[in-house]
Amino acid sequence: MATPIEDTVPEVSDDVDVSELAEIVDELTTMNSDDWSTVAENGVAGGAMIEFAFSAPNEETATGLLEGIRDDLGYAATASEPEGELDDWTVRGTTSEVSITQPGLAEWVRRLAAYGLDQDGCVLDGWALLID
């Protein structure tokens, strides 16, 4: 059986600003194209992979986040430099196969957003269910 998704990210650190975290999670809940209904409609709650992306203010921060995602979380990840002058660095990652429940998904989003904030203020920009 696949690991529950919320168990793949550490608890929220005491160093994270809870109001900033709530704001990011609120925005993700409103703006993200995927949500629990995507998981339910595709019948993949028992095992699926999710991709996600963070914005990072500079190369050093992006590299630190990338290494943390790989080493701490065990996810695959890549970093890419800004495409334009006003863009941030982007760090994209993919979970291993995980099991997903509605409360587990909500907690994973909260914890992953907090993980980014704890890595020098990186912001979780969104996530998507990978469907074959």
Q: For the chain, how many structural domains are there in total?
A: 1
pLDDT at 68: 96
Q: Which domain holds residue 47?
A: 3-130
Report the CATH number that the domain containing residue 108 is assigned in CATH.
Answer: 3.30.70.970
pLDDT at 120: 92
Query: Along the chain (132 residues), what's the average pLDDT of each consecutive run of 10 residues?
Result: 93 96 96 90 88 96 97 97 89 96 96 96 95 76
pLDDT at 83: 87
- Asked whether 44 and 132 are in contact (CB, 8 A), the reply is no
∠ CA 83-122-120, nearest 5°, is: 120
- Please give the model's pTM, rounded to 2 decimal places: 0.94
pLDDT at 59: 95
